[in-house]
Amino acid sequence: MNGRITFEPDHKSVSVSPGTTVLTAAGKARVLIRSRCGGNASCLMCKVTAEQPAGLSPISANERHKLGPLADQGIRLACQARVIGEATVVVPEDPLRAAVRAQLAKQQEEDLW
């Protein structure tokens, strides 16, 4: 039985083999999740929020240690969480994209013309 994961806010879903990391599944779905460490849980850039956590592997002691109190808020590392059923995760907006969006919104508000 395949696992299925949905990435919000993009509303993209993909079927993957059980045990596939959320980060790998995101690549298959063409959803950008920032990561610098190659999936070794050292950069902590790949944080996602588990909306439907039952479809993800239980959090490991190492992941819990890395996340600290965030682990109790449903935050997971995409490189460590594995898809085992049906799951939904929320991917935060890329900081560069957020900055560009904010700047465009500011320009529209100013409406110099």
Task: Convert the pLDDT of each residue in 67-110 to its tens digit.
Answer: 999 999 999 999 999 999 999 999 998 777 778 888 888 888 77
Number of domains observed in the structure of the chain: 1
Q: Where are the beta strands (DSSP E) in 1-113?
A: 3-8, 12-16, 47-50, 75-77, 86-90
Domain CATH number, residue 56: 3.10.20.30
Domain of residue 37: give its range.
Answer: 3-110
The neighbour count for residue 52, using CB atoms within 10 Å, is 14
Q: What is the pLDDT of residues 16-41, one digit of tens each?
A: 999 999 999 999 999 999 888 888 88
On whether the CB atoms of residues 22 and 75 are closer than 8 A, the answer is: no
Q: From CA 80, how far away is CA 78, in angstroms rounded?
A: 5
